[in-house]
Structure 1
Amino acid sequence: MEDVKLLGTWASPFSYRVIWALKLKGIDYEYIEQDLSNKSPLLLQSNPVHKKIPVLIHSGKPISESMIILRYLDESWPENYPLLPADPYERAVARFWIKFAEEKLTSAFAIFRTSGEEQEKAVKESLEVMKTLEEHAFGLLLLQEKAFFGGDKVNMVDLAYGVMGYWLDAVEDCTGVKLMDPLKFPLFHGWVNRFNEAPVIKDNLPDREELFAYFKRRREMIVSATSS
């Protein structure tokens, strides 16, 4: 039996990216919750550069950053539910949209951390990103009659964008900013609903009320700190 550990925090969407991948691949692992206000020696030793979660530890070897971890899992357990297409072109397209997610999704979470003009800028950037995704990424799913980027099953691209659904609701709730308008972004909205209902995803999400309460507390702390 291989020794696999995951260092994460219960409210982190990036931790859940890795949890979903581990569950899809059927990999047994030990989850170790981290307190980011009092970082453990194991976390500091495993990720001394950024000191952040998630960190996967496989047979004593640490791997950091959620999407890097997903690629590592796919290469280390290639036959257990492949997360990327076998076709080279389809794999390249998948990697393009994964890179887009890594570069662009930060604007949505910037809305949570900012206020005033900074927040307005983050909202504008987020809406532009969502418009691009609606027209090109989720539009492609519609043309190809696919439920997910993996066809009829979730793949790595879905996991990359999965943070936009459940967690975006929490951001919208505590900031009062509405991004996921089903009238403006019906394809994106439809995909979010399908993704959240996929069995492995649905069974591995944090409690909604606890998550929203946590985000509200964090938002109040941020607003208080910036206004003082």
Structure 2
Amino acid sequence: MEDDVKVFGLWASPYTQRVIWALKLKGVTYEYIGEDLANKSNLLLQYNPIYKKVPVLVHNGKPVAESMVILQYIDETWPQIPLMPQDAKERSNVRFWSKFIDEAITHLIEFFRYDGEKHEREMKEIWEALRLIEKESGLGKKKFIGGNTIGLADLALGWVAHTLVAMEEVIGVKFITAEEFPHLHSWIGNFLATPAIKDNLPSHELAVEYFKEKRKMCLAIFATQPCHHHH
């Protein structure tokens, strides 16, 4: 029986992108359903009643929510191209960095949503996180965080190669330079050179447009209420 796989997502969301990349790396056929977060579909609410957020993976009618949980589910369900190393110690390392990278991305989203003091504070947190990934994650010894092929932690870090670049352009700041982050810089090159990733990148121009609008909206309502992002 053919697997029936659907992904409910938002094209510009780094959380959605991870899921798409994982399915592409494994060669799994799926149907993509784009969501408008201002006007969520009843199906999305039915499949993810707890968080009401994207992405949601629906496999043979059963929903899985939260992007990192979805990645692990994909890895266990279609084991043909593993996203995790065999060794238990290495696996724990990948899980550790995936979590660390996920916490860093929340700083990116806050940094993007605000101006002034909070913006500066979140920017420092991003620098700090990137420095630690650069120095401590073992990049430089190998092509990717879990070894020489793309794995779970690399998919988690994918925002550095796409979302961050679009946001940098909108805000006019550059985080990752070859001088300051040689390992991360070459990681981005390796990541983007992988066909499953390269052929499934949202357009940079469209992403810049999208984030420009988003930032304008956030700064406009940031006076009255916080602006929410989804994962």
TM-score of the two chains, using structure 2 as the length reference: 0.92
SS at match of 2:37: coil
Q: Which residue of 2 aligns with 1:38?
A: 39
Q: Deviations over 1:112-144 (max 9, x none)?
A: 11110000000111111111111111xx232x3
> Which residue of the partner structure matches residue 125 of structure 1?
125
Q: Deviations over 1:39-62 (max 9, x none)?
A: 000001011111100000011111
Q: What one-letter code is carried by the residue in structure 2 that aligns with 1:56?
A: L
Give ranges in structure 1 of 5+ residues lacking alignment.
none
Query: Identity of paired residues, percent?
Result: 48
2:139 match: 141
Match in the other structure for 1:50: 51
Which region of structure 1 is more displaced relative to structure 2, 211-220 or 104-113?
Answer: 104-113
Pair 1:176-2:172 in alignment:
yes
* Aligned-partner Cα distance in 2 for 1:88–1:227: 48
TM-score, length of structure 1 as denominator length: 0.93
Name the Cα RMSD after superposition: 1.3
SS of the residue 2:150 aligns to: coil
Q: Deviations over 1:178-197 (max 9, x none)?
A: 22233211211121122112
Find out whether 1:154 has 2:121 as its counterpart: no
Equivalent residue for 1:219? 215
Contact kept in structure 2, 1:6 and 1:56, CA below 8 Å: yes
Secondary structure in structure 2 of the residue aligned to 1:5 = strand
Total equivalences in the alignment: 223
Report the alpha carbon displacement of residue 150 of structure 1 after superposing the two structures with TM.
Answer: 4.0
Displacement of 1:168 in angstroms is 0.3
Deviation at 1:10, TM superposition (A): 1.3
Structure 1 stretches of at least 4 aligned residues deviating more than 6 Å after TM superposition = none
Question: In structure 1, what is the Cα distance between the partners aligned to 2:148 and 2:122?
Answer: 33
Match of 2:229 in 1: none
Amino acid paired to 1:186: P
CA distance in structure 2 between the partners assigned to 1:47 and 1:65 by the alignment: 9
Secondary structure at 1:119 match in 2? helix
Amino acid at match of 1:161: L
Determine which structure has the larger helix proportion and give its number: 1
Alpha-carbon displacement from aligned partner over 1:189-215 (angstroms, at most 9, x marks no partner) = 121122112111000011111111111
Letter of the structure 1 residue corresponding to residue 115 of structure 2: S
